[in-house]
Chains A and B, each alone.
Chain A
């Protein structure tokens, strides 16, 4: 096994641009973070900040006209002889056999809407058996056995019957469980969950989060949790990455982020969480303004038009770099060091 202090996924300065006729949208513009085995990284940010595109970029399934244009995505894989090898996913051919083995086999993806993420005209089993066979080379009946086992593992009752049902025959919670089972078919070491609980009611949400934690412990899986729900982050994550307009503005351990946030954006995000300790009838603070249109990215620090600590002549002239402010925390803001 590789040393535990080595990340199994190391994303460095990832850039994914969409080349449209109206102009180039820099959906991800310099995202860096690390993922460790058995731990959970939360990626948070408002909608449209590039969280989902980051996930798709790692798997190299960004739709045209989008393209990964820069950065590295290092994936450490255990080779047969016990030696670890490292591949840079950003350099692989997105249609090639190697990235296809990694998709589902090393890194799996779970989506927000379980209903539309499972084919409406194929049974759950059909899709699961397909994934298992693709990544394990098992025969049809053995793969089916494993698929049933997997459905049992994610807590679907009567899996040997449910396996032949269609997504529209399952309830919302079961559907999300089936979706997770489908993603686990290839025994991935990293699970990217893109808003896995947003479409569910609160009770089911808690159940699904429990399930994810349980699976993580059992399979020693790393989880990348993409969400805009800071409560989920606090409950689930070990590390947090805060994104704004395609850039990582701050990252660090969950405690540091929640108790000593450095970036003004992170602070404002945290202040907008309703608290049970707050005074009744006080207005919940919001972040002033809205996310700029992707074609009109502000010059300098992308957050400066909404920033309470905006320093004229500095923030609107230069782009801040992500730099360490402590051993484990990094932030990209001129408050912590002039350009």
Chain B
């Protein structure tokens, strides 16, 4: 168990390291440095940056030092929660991101949960009633989920909603709650708006997971321990739900590690189409406007949160699979 845990922790740390380097590359890649872009942006809007201010900024970001020193300094600032200043908004990046980051995670996690909630029973049904009408329907819907990119699905649904119900089905809040402070009513409003984007994001993953669960379970259903469980007098329902489903759950659970990054990725584009107040549209604006500190920070935070989510799912795997839990104690 310790070996598994330490392997996971090291991998998570390495991944965070890789993400931070890539985020830094994104920040550094455009020509010119941050300070000159900052000065240009401020003076373009009629402001003025004093020479002294420039010196302070240059020293803080270490722009006169080699690249790796700049990276380390940036990391140092990030660890303290200082992400720099957005060029476009001229406010601290953390303020600009605000609620959007965790709204992104709410949408992504809701999508992962929904993916599971849909894929598990459908996958079980498809395997137990192999070649039944329901199995064919599940396979067909699976192919659709596989073939229609989530942003296209969002587009089509938006169009249908607009055309036939004359309603904007996007967004995460009704107009009156958009800027309102958090309250129970606002949370309820969020809950009412969540299902559609969640469903759109979940469809592709669900299609994949149904296939995985079906294949796993079909493998397990013919194993001797299922026959013995039956021979012990258990009801068919109990036999299937307690034994093969439980065993097939393990490889299924490990897919969550790839599901979360996938859903977070998808949420960026879907958010744009549906106009969700997540970091997606913000990231795009920042990238188009070359507001690199904002963009880099979003990439970094999204990556780190995804790694944390994946790590938590690894812990869950540890909990459900005794073979990993008892590794090395045999």
Given A119-B246, A119-B247, A101 and B225 contact (CB-CB distance below 8 Å)? no
Which of B82-90, B91-99, B229-237 faces chain A?
A: B229-237
Contact at B228–A135, with CB atoms within 8 Å? no
Given A102-B233, A103-B232, A122-B246, A168 and B323 contact (CB-CB distance below 8 Å)? yes
Expressed in whole angstroms, the minimum distance between the Cβ of A105 and any Cβ of chain B is 6
Contact digits for B310-330, partner A, Cβ 8 Å, 1 yes 0 no: 000000000011110010001
Residues of A within 8 Å of B231, CB to CB, are: 59, 61, 103-104, 108-109, 183
Any chain B CB within 8 A of the CB of A151? Answer: no
Any chain B CB within 8 A of the CB of A76? Answer: no
Residues of B within 8 Å of A63, CB to CB, are: 222
Contact at A104–B236, with CB atoms within 8 Å? no
Contact at B233–A120, with CB atoms within 8 Å? no
A317 to B224, CA, bound (A): 39
A61 to B227, CA, bound (A): 7
Residue of B nearest to A169 (CB): B330
B interface: dominant SS = helix
Contact at A117–B225, with CB atoms within 8 Å? yes
Given A63-B222, A121-B246, A186 and B330 contact (CB-CB distance below 8 Å)? no
Select the residue from B222, B229, B233, B242 with max chain A CB neighbours within 10 A.
B233
A226 to B323, CA, bound (A): 32
Any chain A CB within 8 A of the CB of B71? Answer: no
Residues of A within 8 Å of B326, CB to CB, are: 166, 169
A interface: dominant SS = helix
Expressed in whole angstroms, the minimum distance between the Cβ of B259 and any Cβ of chain A is 21
Interface residues on A, range: 35 or more
Contact at A119–B225, with CB atoms within 8 Å? yes
Residues of A within 8 Å of B228, CB to CB, are: 109, 111, 117-118, 179, 182-183
A116 to B235, CA, bound (A): 20
Residues of B within 8 Å of A108, CB to CB, are: 231-232
Expressed in whole angstroms, the minimum distance between the Cβ of B7 and any Cβ of chain A is 20
Residue of A nearest to B239 (CB): A61
Expressed in whole angstroms, the minimum distance between the Cβ of A76 and any Cβ of chain B is 19
Any chain A CB within 8 A of the CB of B163? Answer: no
Contact digits for B201-227, partner A, Cβ 8 Å, 1 yes 0 no: 000000000000000000000111101
Any chain A CB within 8 A of the CB of B250? Answer: yes
Chain B interface residues toward A at CB < 8 A: 222-225, 227-236, 242-243, 246-247, 250, 320-323, 326, 330
What are 6 contact pairs spanning A and B, CB under 8 A? A61-B231, A100-B235, A109-B227, A117-B225, A119-B246, A169-B326
Q: A103-B232, A122-B243, A127-B229 are in contact. List 16 more A-B contacts (CB 8 A).
A: A95-B236, A101-B233, A103-B230, A103-B233, A104-B232, A118-B225, A119-B246, A119-B247, A121-B246, A123-B322, A130-B232, A130-B234, A134-B232, A166-B323, A168-B323, A183-B231
